[in-house]
Structure 1
Amino acid sequence: MGKRIGFQTVELSSKPKILQSYTIVGPKEGEGPLREYFHEILSDDMCDCKSFELAESKIHYKAVTSCIKSAGKKEADINYIFAGDLLNQIMASTFMARDLEIPFIGLYGACSTFTEAMTMAAMAIEAEFASYTIASTSSHFSSAERQFRLPLEMGSQRAPSSQWTVTGAAALLIGREGNYPYITHVTTGKVKDYGVKDPNEMGAAMAPAAVDTLKQHFQDTNRTEKDYDLIVSGDLGKVGKAITIELLKEYGYNIESNYIDCGDEIFHGESQGTNCGGSGAACSAAVMSSMIYKGLLSKKYKRVLLISTGALLSSTSSLQGQSIPGIAHAVAVECGGD
């Protein structure tokens, strides 16, 4: 069985396998540089629904069911779904799960939810509580904007440091057997708050949490940045990415040569008007479940460290003038046989 190493990391000896992935993104994401990697690109982000929130739930449902079907499995084969999103009471995920006959565990980690779900799904396999699990999440630009910032109808000018919430959903099917990429370590993050209050400065709010989790992962595992082909943060964007690089140098780690950020990768920032890049729970989920997973399958990458980051604000905390706590969870995914 797996064991705890260091202070925040668990080593998974059974190497839970990622058997299948499925990614759906919106039209804007489909116009970005990762278009060729996505499984499905929507032509209409409303999906014939009456609201953005219901559209997000529909996208989430399609990603989960398509992932299961693509793997040749049925709903009855899946023991748990670990899923969450950005909406109040994780509405998109719970409304998705109500149409499935699969036990559901709802999670909230803001934009870090995908690695949180991967962690729980892999641990359930490791502990032999499940044979197959699903890790999934979703976000939608329009539903997130009116919950966390201002209604789109107001036409408010976006700050230069702001990011664009990714419209999409992604799911991973995790199991025990087969020659697939596998999860070896999970490092659960601590909440960090350095006093950032501006909701347009998400990258700055989350970067300290990313740095703390990365540093702890390296210390716990006795690895360094050189042990990974790719280190991937979730949605720090251009600002948060730069802060993370500089802060890690203070601890003796230089990740510049093998580090990317999903928010920085998913859009053509300047031409698509996304300012500092992408964000949202679906940001790291979409990139991991498409480009990175396919890179692992092809052996382009042998060892990847994914660190999804989350800004733990709410409309209530912002209105009360509170700062924005950050969280980051890391998952090491490797390939190379059993």
Structure 2
Amino acid sequence: MNLKRIGNQTVVFANPPVILSSYSVVGPKEGQGPLSKTFSKVMQDNLNGNKSWEVAESKMLEEALQGAVKQSKVKTEELDYMLAGDLLNQIISANFAARTMGFPFIGIYGACSTMALSMAVGSMLIDGQFARNVLVGVSSHHDTAERQYRSPTEQGSQRAMSAQWTVTGAGSVVLSQSGTGPRITAATIGRVLDYGEKDVNNMGAAMAPAVADTILNHMKDLNRTPGDYDLIVSGDLGQVGLHLAKEVLKRSGMETANQFNDCGVMIYDSSQDVHAGGSGCACSAVVFAGEIMQKLISKQYQRVLLVGSGSLHSPTSALQGESIPGVGHAVVIEA
């Protein structure tokens, strides 16, 4: 068998899938940030006319998925699978959106790494000739995440300076076996690492070792260096996690210079009181679907490594005193 797997953790696609379209919907806080002009739609408020934040999140994901399908010009009968996920218990935002969309559905949970993981799995389906076109989308919502993982926002709880602000948003892309657009040329599936961090208000520290491990294995597998990329971007390490990941890479002999950034750092500015930066499934999804895709299309970026970062704890595991496992999944996108 002629395996497409290279090295320890990486696959290289013989027929790289094309990203035909992307679409992003964000909340008002995200719309006030430095990337405001790159999003497809900015909502006026976090409920967006719905009865609850959870309903608003699912409807927001539906809108992003429908927007990507419309822009791709792919006929609905030619969309073979929909891959989606979110942060809520039993990935209800994705499940309920799938109920409306009507496509064969694969629900995926990788915490905040779900966008990169879904893009990797969707690319495998297309490269393996199991699908012609795949719809990918994820969502998160600040208020639904706070209600589930920490304290409802109505309580006005004091936030730690290492805490991150869950991005309210949804991002979607359509992957295809043919067409015009940036291509996903490789994927590195990460390992779950746990160095004993237990503070749910410091998820960046919990995820940083896994993200660094994925980057190191990716470079080793493909015999590349950070200089081979215009941008290496993690999903939502935030300020704390990004600093730690860079330090781990440096101690491992890898200098990332100015190539390494984080979507959670990029999406907000210092005046928005988000402390360590952004987080959530939508963090990498909306930054990629907007800012990064636009720079790939305009050829400002030739090759990007998107490393989704995931904090794999639950409210129950945290209350039981368990430490927080982290994971990082990477995809290579080339103009």
Q: Distance in 1 between matches of 2:275 and 2:265?
A: 10
Question: Retained in 2: the 8 A contact 1:75–1:101?
Answer: no
Q: Distance in 2 between matches of 1:257 and 1:97?
A: 39
Q: Distance in 2 between matches of 1:2 and 1:260?
A: 32
Q: Distance in 1 between matches of 2:257 and 2:320?
A: 37
Question: Retained in 2: the 8 A contact 1:245–1:256?
Answer: no
Q: Distance in 2 between matches of 1:77 and 1:23?
A: 22
SS in 2 for 1:276: coil
Q: Distance in 1 between matches of 2:3 and 2:85?
A: 25
Which residue matches 2:212?
211
SS in 2 for 1:108: coil
Which residue matches 1:192?
193
Q: Distance in 2 between matches of 1:297 and 1:318?
A: 42
1:21 matched to 2:22? The reply is yes
1:285 matched to 2:285? The reply is yes
SS in 2 for 1:24: strand
Which residue matches 1:113?
114
SS in 2 for 1:110: coil
Q: Distance in 2 between matches of 1:191 and 1:259?
A: 21
Which residue matches 1:93?
94
Q: Which amino acid aligns with 1:12?
A: F
Which residue matches 1:314?
314
Higher mean C-alpha deviation, range 121-130 or range 176-185: 176-185
Q: Distance in 2 between matches of 1:179 and 1:109?
A: 29
Q: Distance in 2 between matches of 1:34 and 1:245?
A: 24
Q: Distance in 1 between matches of 2:333 and 2:27?
A: 26
The runs of 5 or more residues in structure 1 that have no matched partner are none
Which residue matches 1:332?
332
SS in 1 for 2:310: strand
SS in 2 for 1:111: coil
Once the two structures are superposed, what CA deviation does each residue of 1:15-63 show, in whole Å capped at 9, x if it has no partner?
A: 1100000011000000000011111111122121111111100000000
Q: Distance in 1 between matches of 2:61 and 2:274?
A: 23
Once the two structures are superposed, what CA deviation does each residue of 1:97-144 show, in whole Å capped at 9, x if it has no partner?
A: 001220000000000000110011111100111110011100000000
SS in 2 for 1:7: coil
Which residue matches 1:301?
301
Q: Which amino acid aligns with 1:291?
A: E
Q: Distance in 2 between matches of 1:307 and 1:213?
A: 8
How far has the Cα of 1:257 moved from its partner? Answer: 1.5
How far has the Cα of 1:2 moved from its partner? Answer: 6.7
Q: Distance in 2 between matches of 1:256 and 1:48?
A: 44
Q: Distance in 2 between matches of 1:315 and 1:178?
A: 43
Q: Which amino acid aligns with 1:97?
A: A
Which residue matches 1:138?
139
SS in 1 for 2:119: helix
Q: Which amino acid aligns with 1:331?
A: V
1:53 matched to 2:46? The reply is no
Question: Retained in 2: the 8 A contact 1:2–1:12?
Answer: no
Q: Distance in 2 between matches of 1:52 and 1:323?
A: 28
CA RMSD of superposed structures (Å): 0.9
Q: Distance in 2 between matches of 1:44 and 1:264?
A: 22
Question: Retained in 2: the 8 A contact 1:2–1:126?
Answer: no
Q: Which amino acid aligns with 1:170?
A: G
Which residue matches 2:103?
102
Question: Retained in 2: the 8 A contact 1:188–1:329?
Answer: yes
Question: Retained in 2: the 8 A contact 1:237–1:279?
Answer: yes
Q: Distance in 2 between matches of 1:73 and 1:11?
A: 25
- How many positions carry a matched residue from both structures? 334
TM-score (ref. length: structure 1) = 0.97
1:249 matched to 2:250? The reply is yes
How far has the Cα of 1:239 moved from its partner? Answer: 0.4
Q: Which amino acid aligns with 1:317?
A: S
Question: Retained in 2: the 8 A contact 1:2–1:11?
Answer: no
Percent identity, aligned pairs only? 50
SS in 1 for 2:175: strand
How far has the Cα of 1:77 moved from its partner? Answer: 1.9
1:153-172 to 2 correspondences below 5 Å = 153-172=154-173
SS in 1 for 2:180: coil
Which residue matches 2:67?
66
TM-score (ref. length: structure 2) = 0.98
Which residue matches 1:273?
273
Q: Which amino acid aligns with 1:281?
A: C
SS in 2 for 1:231: strand
Q: Distance in 1 between matches of 2:242 and 2:58?
A: 30
SS in 2 for 1:93: helix
Give every structure 1 segment of 4 or more consecutive aligned residues whose post-TM-superposition deviation is greater than 2 Å: none
Once the two structures are superposed, what CA deviation does each residue of 1:196-219 show, in whole Å capped at 9, x if it has no partner?
A: 000000100000000110000001
Q: Distance in 1 between matches of 2:193 and 2:315?
A: 19
